[in-house]
Amino acid sequence: MAVTPSESASVIEKTKSDPDVEAAVRKWKNKRGSLIMVLHEIQNSRGYVPRDVALYLSRELSVPLASIYEALTFYHYFKLEPPGKAVISVCTGTACYLKGSQAVVDEFSREIDCAVGASTEDRMFHLQCVRCVGCCGLAPVAIVNGKTYGRLTPADVKKIVHEWREHFAVET
Ligand code: FES
């Protein structure tokens, strides 16, 4: 997959300021199987692996971009396109589960009328469950497009969904 110099420079700058991507690279760099592990973290937090992230990883992990796309297309788990404008990732790791994350998942599902692992018809939301996202002290936790919400109860869900609907209404 060809990369233009301007594409490469600008996306790397942009991705650098992306804390979840940088943290995943720091965590796995120089470890065996680092590429797949980083791709998993990105997929889990965003619901897909954007091209700018693939470019950034290519440079940071010294892996040819073609090899990254080989992995991304080989495993069906990885998505190359955003499944919804807002990806709602509810943590169902042990700490979150014990503090009631399933009720939060159910409430999101009810509020946006969408099953776990699916996207709403208007593709505004995608709902998924993820493993521990590393902030168990805030359990139960959900992440929406990189923004973390902690100590959630089902009563918080409506407000979060409303917040993102408003966000996209302002954008358009
Ligand atoms: S188990 Fe949910 S953040 Fe760790």
Instruction: Tell me how far the alpha carbon of residue 10 lies from the centroid of ligand 1, in angstroms.
Output: 33
Residue 63 is predicted with a pLDDT of 92
| Number of domains comprising the chain | 2
Q: Quote the CA–CA distance of 111 and 36 in Å, as a whole number.
A: 33
CB of 142 closer than 6 angstroms to any ligand 1 atom:
no
**Shared-domain flag, residues 54 and 123:** no
Q: What dihedral angle (degrees, nearest 10) is formed by the CA atoms of 39, 44, 49, 53?
A: -70
Residue the block writes with tokens 């992440």: 143
Task: Give the three-state DSSP class for 172.
Answer: coil
Which of 74, 103, 120 delimits the end of a domain?
74
pLDDT tens series, the chain, 172 aa: 555 555 566 666 666 667 788 888 998 888 888 899 999 889 887 778 999 999 999 999 999 999 999 999 988 778 887 778 898 999 999 999 999 999 999 999 999 999 998 889 998 999 999 888 888 999 999 999 889 999 999 999 999 999 999 998 887 6
> Of the residues 41, 128, 132, 151, which should be mutated to test ligand 1's pocket, given the most ligand atoms within 8 Å of the CB?
132
**Shared-domain flag, residues 95 and 151:** yes
Phi, psi of 49 (to 5 degrees): -115, 105
CATH number at residue 139: 3.40.30.10
Do residues 160 and 144 touch, judged by C-beta distance below 8 A? yes
**Residue owning the nearest CA to atom 3 of ligand 1:** 136
**Shared-domain flag, residues 110 and 165:** yes
**Shared-domain flag, residues 59 and 90:** no
**Shared-domain flag, residues 56 and 116:** no
Residue 31 is predicted with a pLDDT of 83
Residue 28 is predicted with a pLDDT of 87
Instruction: Enumerate the β-bridge partners of residue 144.
Output: 88, 147
**Shared-domain flag, residues 115 and 45:** no
**Shared-domain flag, residues 70 and 124:** no
Which of 33, 53, 74 delimits the end of a domain?
74
Q: Is residue 79 part of a domain?
A: no
pTM of the model: 0.64
CB of 84 closer than 6 angstroms to any ligand 1 atom:
no
Instruction: Tell me how far the alpha carbon of residue 100 lies from the centroid of ligand 1, in angstroms.
Output: 11
Which of 22, 46, 74 delimits the end of a domain?
74
Q: Quote the CA–CA distance of 46 and 118 in Å, as a whole number.
A: 14
Structural domain for 162, as ranges? 86-171
Q: Smallest Cα–Cα separation from 108: which of 146, 134, 78, 141?
A: 141
Q: Smallest Cα–Cα separation from 78: which of 124, 128, 39?
A: 39
What count of other Cβ atoms lies within 10 Å of the Cβ of residue 45?
A: 18
Q: Smallest Cα–Cα separation from 133: which of 21, 41, 26?
A: 41
Query: How much of the chain is in helix, strand and coil states, percent to nearest 5?
Result: 55, 10, 35
**Shared-domain flag, residues 70 and 90:** no
Task: Give the three-state DSSP class for 74.
Answer: helix
Q: Is residue 112 part of a domain?
A: yes
**Shared-domain flag, residues 65 and 105:** no
**Shared-domain flag, residues 57 and 29:** yes
**Shared-domain flag, residues 114 and 145:** yes
Q: Is residue 120 part of a domain?
A: yes
